[in-house]
Amino acid sequence: MKKLLCFSFFLLNVQLLMAQAPAAEKANYQLASKFSPKKLGKMVFSTSVSPHWFKKSDRFWYMYETTSGRKWYLVNPATREKKEMFDLEKLAAQLTQIVKDPFDAQHLPIDSLRLTESENGMRFEIKSTIDEERKDTTVRRGTPQPRGKKIFYFEYTFSTGQLQELKEFKKPARRPNWASVSPDSSTIIFARNYNLYKMDKANYEKALKNESDSTIVETQLTKDGIEFFAYGGGEKDDDNASDSTKAKPKRRAAYVLWSPDSKKFAMVRSDTRKLKEMWVINSVADPRPTLKTYKYQLPGEKEAPDEFVLLFDAATGNQQALAVSAFKNQDVGIWSSNFKQNERDDDWRPLTWLGTKDKFYLNRTSRDLKRIDVVSIDVATGTPKVLIEERMNTYVEIRKLGLVNDGKELIQWSERDGWGHFYLYDGNGTLKNQITSGAFHCEDIVGIDEKKRVLYFSANGREGKEDPYYLHLYKINFDGSGLTLLNAGDFDHNMSLNDNNTFFVDNYSRVNTVPKSALYDANGKK
């Protein structure tokens, strides 16, 4: 009886405690959604200046949005002049008269701004509310393609403020992601069914109009590509695709790097067939989650990818496997050239290798990440030459080489003295001198002035009484003299140096300050 009374008392206490316990709070998704990027974007506008540098001068333009709307500015650093690009009220009236949609100065839907070739004006487009019939009348999966909105094209002249509608303007077709176009636009490389193919410019223009055009002529360059040992396009086609699509697999991207003269291209082909499988669940698949399988190497597993560097002749399609193997299960990477700041708005920028038509550069890393080689490749013979060797007892990092006068000299980043610093080599890999030194960390090459022999670079941890992670911009002579801080201030800095190494825009802030932007010359003068 005592046991029964005790158990009854215990149950009563548990029920009382449960009755007193507060109900579990439900997730407040409505509150969380208020802080989504899409909604924050309506409250927080521009926080930095993103310069679009001109090619023929040191000028740049930028757009900045506030609660008062968007404005576009032209800046001439040489004359210290900043002015609005458009008379927005006048422009809104002009656009309204032509497009027949009402526009106001605060909310002009200007899109796709591009400098004219003379750089004396700007071209842009405006999407109207007018429905425009599609010229492509094809029906896909039984559904007619929806009509788009008519787009108007304009050219605006800076000096006169004159607006001209470009009625016969044809917007260049967007480059498809499968196309690797040579610098001279004569050859296009892509992958199909794990192999490499090419087409010429005329057939590429057909593909831009209609990728299914049966008259497109393609040339197959390789025949031994298979799944997990492909030349490109390592993905399978959709199993739900139509039979006609399956009969001819899709064109897919092949990551190749071109020589500047368009005569050669190089790539890394990876063999992952021996690797074991990993899985993830695509939880947002419709109507039910699906299982995705891919190859992945876990630490300690003996199975590893085998990588091969291939050099192709663009005209003949002949390939040459380069003898770059040095470490078991090594990783190989071909460096690409750097894009220029004044090319950011170009509709198409070719992917070229770092180097010249006669030579390019790559790096190879041992599986334990303790050994790295910087290697140059002679394009004519395919012969590799080890220029720089990095050997440490711990993990070794690496940055892209800086080329001086097309590789007559090299600037390398290394942690060999315990800090990240830059070193100057001649073209044969002989060390000339250490450029930067001291108890601070150099991050990246920002610019190289070959004539003045000055290196511009970002670094952190040098300025006292600051967060050691705050980045700054510095310059230094190749011989290690003249180290100069160019953007002082207890902030984290993000810099955009123009291609002439004459001016840079500095965006800076801290978590407890309002972001600001400033323009400096190459000597650090605001």
| pLDDT tens-digit map of 113-142 | 999 999 999 999 999 999 986 655 444 444
Of 398, 449, 408, 399, whose CA–CA distance to 430 is shortest?
A: 408
126 in a structural domain: yes
**In which order are the strands placed within the sheet that holds 384-391?**
331-334, 359-365, 371-378, 384-391
298 in a structural domain: no
Q: Alpha-carbon distance 158 to 143, whole Å?
A: 45
425 pLDDT above the threshold of 50: yes
Q: What is the pLDDT of residue 41?
A: 78
155 in a structural domain: yes
454 pLDDT above the threshold of 60: yes
66 in a structural domain: yes
Q: Alpha-carbon distance 272 to 288, whole Å?
A: 29
92 pLDDT above the threshold of 90: yes
127 in a structural domain: yes
| pLDDT-wise least confident of 49-58, 232-241, 245-254 | 232-241
Q: Are 77 and 307 in contact (CB under 8 A)?
A: no
What's the residue count for the chain? 526
Confidence band for 405, pLDDT divided at 50, 70 and 90: very high
Residue of 142 and 448 predicted with greater confidence: 448
79 in a structural domain: yes
27 pLDDT above the threshold of 90: no
Mean pLDDT within 58-68: 95
Q: What is the pLDDT of residue 21?
A: 54
| pLDDT-wise least confident of 245-249, 287-291, 312-316, 476-480 | 245-249
DSSP 70-132: EEEEEEEGGGTEEEESS-HHHHHHHHHHHH-S---TT----EEEEE-TTSSEEEEEEEEEEEE
Mean pLDDT within 304-322: 97
ω into 289 cis (within 30 of 0): no
The Cα-based distances of 290 to 176, 282, 283, 287 in angstroms read: 28, 5, 7, 9
Question: Whole-model pTM?
Answer: 0.88
Residue of 248 and 339 predicted with greater confidence: 339
Of 341, 346, 286, 345, whose CA–CA distance to 456 is shortest?
A: 341
| pLDDT-wise least confident of 176-180, 344-348, 385-389 | 344-348
Mean pLDDT within 186-195: 97
User: How many domains does the chain fold into?
Assistant: 1
Label the pairing between strands 492-497 and 484-485: unpaired
Alpha helix (H) residue ranges in 212-274: 243-247
Mean pLDDT within 215-231: 97
Mean pLDDT within 283-298: 93
Q: What is the pLDDT of residue 173?
A: 86
Domain that holds residue 77: 52-135+146-165
Q: Alpha-carbon distance 504 to 516, whole Å?
A: 14
387 pLDDT above the threshold of 60: yes
**402: its two tokens:** 């800086």
Q: What is the pLDDT of residue 239?
A: 46
46 in a structural domain: no
106 in a structural domain: yes
Q: Alpha-carbon distance 368 to 300, whole Å?
A: 10
